[in-house]
Amino acid sequence: MKKLLLSALIAITLFPACTPGNHQQSPAGNKKVLVYSATRGYRHESIPDGIAAIKTLGATNHWDVVSSEDTALFSDNKISGYDAIVFLSTTGTVLSNEGEKALQDYVHAGGGIVGVHAATDCEYNWPWYNRMMGAWFESHPEQQVATLKKTTEVHPSTAMLPAEWSRKDEWYNFKNFNDQVKVVLLLDETSYKGGKMNGYHPAAWYHQFEGGKIFYTTLGHTKESYSEPLFLQHLEAGIRSVLK
């Protein structure tokens, strides 16, 4: 009887029961991705579609994807555990002074940042963010079909794309462009109306910045983008490229 009780005790200790209230740890090796979509300006209707799409990508890639608009997450002990942070069409001032410091610390520690579409329409009073993300939004014409062209810069986010790619989206004109970034997609300003960047119009780029890895794409305004296979592959590879 004593041997049976001892065996039972060992089994309970090594293999505790999984009750519905128990917190189940993520499988070893899973990457953690935070999708941050807070807005203090224009709010894109496509944000829920973007979150859902990234969660689907997460299920395929074994990423633990958390979506939030809680600025309190941006403290050292709350964002440091993420392998990438996606700024999904964030607008306006979405970080406190403490949050700014935490984001800087995260990048300096080797963190990965992905900016999608309106992530450049954000934090206009913070020059560090401008340099990190690569540009600030200035204006855009009406949504229309335009042609994107791959550059000679080799990057996973464009490996699956044709040399010229025509699609409909909202095409941003930029200001305060950081010419230290490595541009992987250019907009052909002759293919649409409203381009204001004198023929050299970056649309997606990446760079190493103060220890961190950054990727940005201006694509992703429309709801339809998040069911478009090529765009999703572009976004997926962009996220992969910055993971710790």
Please give the backbone phi and psi of residue 3, each rounded to the nearest 5 degrees, phi first.
-65, -40
Please give the backbone phi and psi of residue 82, each rounded to the nearest 5 degrees, phi first.
-85, 140
DSSP letters for 132-192: HH--EEEE----EEEEEEE-S---GGGTTS-SEEEEEE-PPEEES--TTSEEEEEE-GGGS
Average pLDDT over residues 10-21: 33
Q: Give residue-wise pLDDT tens across range 125-147.
A: 999 999 999 999 999 999 999 99
Crossing angle of the two packed helices 47-61 and 229-242, in degrees rounded to 10: 70
Question: Mean pLDDT of all residues in the chain?
Answer: 90
Asked if 168 contacts 143 with a C-beta cutoff of 8 angstroms, the reply is yes
Q: Is the pLDDT of residue 28 over 60?
A: no
Q: Give residue-wise pLDDT tens across range 110-119.
A: 999 999 999 9
Yes or no: is domain 31-242 CATH 3.40.50.2000?
A: no
Q: Which tokens belong to 48?
A: 């829920």
